[in-house]
Amino acid sequence: MQLQGDDEEITGLQTDIIAISTVDLSQASYVAESLRLDFPILYDPAADVVREYGVCNLWEDGMATPSTFVLDRTGKIRWQHIGKTVYDRPSNEEIIGQLRNLQKG
């Protein structure tokens, strides 16, 4: 998980990292343990959260599309990156830049 390497800088920006997984809980736990993730992975087996954010089944595969959202303190989406492929993820620098912009107001 790419964000893991910069989690101290991200939390230093008064933010939290939370992942959401719709896959089997044992699979999600295995990934979290394998990657030694320090942030929580919320288990969403019914895909309620990913549906709410509009990233469920975008590729007509019944899965959540890899996505990154930056929300403000009120829960409003301030920036998002919706992956076009399973490997299409924003860089840490891009995410951190968006977090800094959010702090500037």
The structural domains of the chain, ordered by start, are 2-104 (3.40.30.10)
Q: How confident is the model at residue 47 (pLDDT cuts 50, 70, 90)?
A: very high
Long-range contacts of 38-42 (CB under 8 A, 24+ apart): 38/4, 38/7, 39/3, 39/4, 39/7, 42/18
- The stretches of 1-105 forming alpha helices (DSSP H) are 7-12, 25-35, 48-52, 92-104
Q: DSSP 3-state assignment of 68?
A: strand
pLDDT in tens, 84-103: 998 898 998 999 999 999 98
| Residue whose token pair is 């008064």 | 14
- What's the rounded Cα separation, in Å, for the pair 48 and 3? 24
Q: How confident is the model at residue 1 (pLDDT cuts 50, 70, 90)?
A: very low
Closest CA to 77 of 49, 57, 102: 102
Q: How many CB atoms lie within 10 A of CB 10?
A: 19
At 104, list the tokens: 């500037």
pLDDT in tens, 3-29: 666 877 888 888 888 888 888 777 767
52: which DSSP letter? H
